[in-house]
Amino acid sequence: MALSDEELERYARHIVLPQVGGVGQNKLKAANIAVVGAGGIGSGVIPALAGAGIGRLTIIDDDVVEVANLHRQPLFSEGDAGRPKADLATEFVRRLNGFVETSPVRKRIDPGNARALLAGHDLVLDGSDNFATRLAVSDACVALGIPLVSAAAVQFQAQVGLFRAQPCYRCFVGDAFDADDCDNCAELGVLGALAATAGSFAALLAINTVVGVGGNQAGKVHLFDGEKLEWRTIEIPPDRGCKACRGNP
Ligand SMILES: [Zn+2]
């Protein structure tokens, strides 16, 4: 798959990077990524992935824009209130980069539909706002063998991690949240710029994973303290009894 002259010009500042080059840019073009959640995290992720030239983006979100979203979701503007986020985010991608094929899915992911919606993607980036969705996404990614970048932000705390085979996201958070579909942003608040920080970091992790930059980052979770302005990284131990990834290598 060769890059056209127009693509070579468009991605020149990527291609000049020794870690990316034409080979890396072609990997981005060949990649098929599902983004779960077009909210605060998605507002950082979606422009970065579309700008980077990811070949196919599926944007999954069942929500509509509310005025209280606008402080952290710059994909949308005041006139968008009441419109579906997945449709608006897809329109944004088309305006930004005509080389990206994109499609909206206006559905809420749950354990019953997650595998069908995520199958066929090379990587899933989850920026959803509740544990029920995150666990459904993670369990499907484990079953399908798809690497998962998971990102979340609440109050002044953000976390971003890459999960592949084992440990999985469920090893990290456990099973307690299966029954507790808490929407932490609505209840606890979140600083808008912090969601953007987590989204940008998650997009970087996804791009590095696709291109193969920075070695294997799977099983690490990066935690950001938005008050101290400090990142720290923890390694997640595999849960040998995990009901999702037990038995995976
Ligand atoms: Zn697990």
The tens digit of pLDDT for each residue in 225-249 reads 999 999 999 999 999 999 999 977 6
Quote the ligand 1 centre to 121 CA distance (angstroms).
20
Quote the ligand 1 centre to 240 CA distance (angstroms).
8
Q: Are 205 and 198 in contact (CB under 8 A)?
A: no
Quote the ligand 1 centre to 219 CA distance (angstroms).
10
Residues 6+ apart with CB under 8 A from 130: 181, 182, 183, 184
Quote the ligand 1 centre to 128 CA distance (angstroms).
19
How far apart are alpha carbons 73 and 81 in whole angstroms?
A: 12
Quote the ligand 1 centre to 158 CA distance (angstroms).
21
Quote the ligand 1 centre to 147 CA distance (angstroms).
13
User: Across-strand partners of 234?
Assistant: 221
Q: Which percentage of the chain shows pLDDT scores above 90?
A: 92
Kindly tell me if the per-residue pLDDT of 68 is higher than 60. Answer: yes
Unique residue bearing structure tokens 């950001």: 224
40-52 vs 192-211: helix crossing angle, rounded to 10: 40
pLDDT grade, residue 180 (50/70/90)? Answer: low
pLDDT grade, residue 179 (50/70/90)? Answer: low
pLDDT grade, residue 118 (50/70/90)? Answer: very high
> Cis peptide before 167, with omega less than 30 degrees from 0?
yes
- Of all helices (H) and strands (E), which one includes residue 29? helix 21-30
Quote the ligand 1 centre to 107 CA distance (angstroms).
25
Per the prediction, the chain carries an average pLDDT of 94
DSSP strands (E only) in the chain: 32-36, 56-60, 101-105, 123-126, 148-154, 157-163, 220-225, 230-235
Kindly tell me if the per-residue pLDDT of 1 is higher than 90. Answer: no
Kindly tell me if the per-residue pLDDT of 17 is higher than 70. Answer: yes
Kindly tell me if the per-residue pLDDT of 11 is higher than 90. Answer: yes
Quote the ligand 1 centre to 138 CA distance (angstroms).
9
The stretch 160-181 carries a mean pLDDT of 87
Dihedral, CA atoms, 106, 110, 115, 119, nearest 10 degrees? 30
Residues 6+ apart with CB under 8 A from 229: none
Quote the ligand 1 centre to 204 CA distance (angstroms).
24
* Digit-coded pLDDT (tens) for 124-153: 999 999 999 999 999 999 999 999 999 999
